[in-house]
Amino acid sequence: MKKLVSLILALAMLVLTLPALAAGTTLTWARGYESTSLDPAESADDESNNIVSYLTEGLVRILEGTLVPGIAESWEISDAGDVCTFHLRQSTWSDGTPLNAQDFVYSFMRLIDPEAGHSQAATGFCVLNAEAYNQGQAAPEDVGYRAVDDYTLEVTFVSSGLENLYLLADNAFRPVKKELAESLGETYGSDADKLLGNGPMKMESWLHESQMVLVKNENYWNRDAIQMEKLVGMCNVSGDTAVEMMMTDMIDLASFSDPTYYTQLQDLGFDEMTYTNTDQFIHINQNGRNEETGRFLSNVNFRRALSLAIDRTAMVNTVMQGQTPANRVIDPDAAGLEGRFVDEYPVENTINVTAEPEKAREYLALALEELGATEDQIPEFSMLCYDTQGNLTKLQAVQDMLLTVLGIRCAIDPQPIQQMIAKVYSSDFDFWTGGMAIGTVDAASPDGVFANWDVNDPDALFGYGNAEYAALLDTAQQASDLKTRLDAVAAMEKIFIDEVPTLLLTWQTQHVMVRPGYVITSVDASFGADLAFVQVQP
């Protein structure tokens, strides 16, 4: 199944420069909610993926948007671009035992094991015959992931493309130790004593729903670069609680998108860095939570009516302050061939940033005519969300707009994070509020916005089908040159805007706040172990 890392607001990892502090510094940061699993094959939410990034290391890492060596110290790519040979450095697990290429092969085959049913198995389908093996249609030896010797690993991809190497930075490709994983079974990654990593940090303690303590891994191959002796993640800390803890020196770092919170810290002189990190949506389940709601949500004119009824500017001015109304999918900061993508690929018909009630009602009338239905036959829809005040106020605003403009009724369904995830994966929702990461390379990346509407993916969450869109996504992901890729991305964006597979609301700006004296030198929306490598000034 697709990672919710791409579906829920991503928490940035940071590279920091600290003031003159002694070695052995402890950094405490705010975590929004409890991790669901620290098993790389099951890690399905941001707060899990963040921690997995500290505890493990794959073949490569993405640091500040750049691909850097991890356990693989070098690699070669075949002329055809579909085979990559990795040369692994000599390294160990955090318990000091050797790590080799066979460990990576075991971990990958475990990820795609058809009997295990791991939630992140589809992430591995970029490897040749991995999907066929997962579906029982190929033998293990047919899978393009093999150890040539103890320190040489060969990976054959389904196709060539610009981002094959970037895909291997995903947490799903992180190694797990065979003996421990097999002894623990489904409980692997559920507690501090039920996991073992090879990354810059290791787990010292995990008090569920409260605090997680990570300490420096002295057996990490690059241990001299680790400046943090201890990282303390405080769970369920956000909003007013995070502000208060920052002000009382209980935490050092927190991330906010709501100016209600970050402006208080700005006024007090806390340092910050901002970046655009996600697109914010109210997702549409076009299959519906039942046949009745799916009948309407699968109609393109009905979806167009929904979008036109929403006043995105009013929402930014009230319940989504600090964000920017989105008039297209690709954000203004996205790179094109030489300059900005939005300048190089303009679009005529953009997403409405203010409501257009008359036009919305026209599209609703067209939809009802196509469906052979009347307004009183439109069912009540369910709006699923993670149970926070911010999500509730956002959905209440949209709920009111749909009722006022179109007479459409919706009931809000707030849930704890685990129950929300379960409902999403079982399609027990009509609308669901959440963010999507912009993508490792761009919106066409497997973790990007467009890939979540991949009609060829059996685990696609939203029920959208368009053959032209699917072909363009394939073209983008398999392109070996940037222009071909971006041309396809631009064409996909136009389809996305026209057919409204989901309700895009805003581009979200994240404000990373850190206590005075700390200097943030860079920020990266991708997952990485940057906090472990905080540099201490001499």
pLDDT single digits (tens) 394-426: 999 999 999 999 999 999 999 998 899 899 989
Q: Write down the pLDDT at residue 5.
A: 33
Q: Which CATH architecture has domain 277-510?
A: Roll (3.10)
- Tokens 């953009």 identify what position? 350
Average pLDDT over residues 453-479: 80
Q: Write down the pLDDT at residue 537.
A: 37
Average pLDDT over residues 254-268: 89
pLDDT at 12 over 60: no
Neighbours of 523 (CB within 10 A): 20
Neighbours of 275 (CB within 10 A): 15
201 pLDDT band, cuts 50/70/90, is very high
Q: How far apart are CA 202 and CA 177, in angstroms?
A: 14
Q: Write down the pLDDT at residue 451.
A: 85
More confident residue, 228 or 113: 113
273 pLDDT band, cuts 50/70/90, is confident
Q: Write down the pLDDT at residue 21.
A: 39
Average pLDDT over residues 108-137: 96
Average pLDDT over residues 431-454: 84
Q: Write down the pLDDT at residue 295.
A: 97
Q: Structure tokens of 259?
A: 């100016």
The CATH 3.40.190.10 portion of the chain extends over: 4-241+515-536
Q: Tell me which fold the domain 4-241+515-536 belongs to.
A: D-Maltodextrin-Binding Protein; domain 2 (3.40.190)
Average pLDDT over residues 380-406: 96
517 pLDDT band, cuts 50/70/90, is low
Mean pLDDT estimate for the chain: 88
Average pLDDT over residues 71-79: 95
Q: Write down the pLDDT at residue 325.
A: 96
The CATH 3.10.105.10 portion of the chain extends over: 277-510
- Tokens 């919710």 identify what position? 4
Q: Is residue 413 a contact partner of residue 384, using CB atoms and an 8 Å limit?
A: yes
Listed range (319-323, 360-364, 366-370) with the worst mean pLDDT: 319-323
Q: Write down the pLDDT at residue 525.
A: 43
Q: How far apart are CA 258 and CA 318, in angstroms?
A: 11
Listed range (130-134, 272-276, 294-298) with the worst mean pLDDT: 272-276
Q: Is residue 110 a contact partner of residue 41, using CB atoms and an 8 Å limit?
A: yes
Q: Write down the pLDDT at residue 65.
A: 62
Q: How far is CA 490 from the centre of its chain?
A: 21
93 burial via Cβ count (<10 Å: 0-12, 13-18, 19+): buried
Listed range (17-26, 121-130, 168-177, 320-329) with the worst mean pLDDT: 17-26
More confident residue, 309 or 534: 309
> Pick from 536, 538, 534: which is nearest to 201 by CA?
534
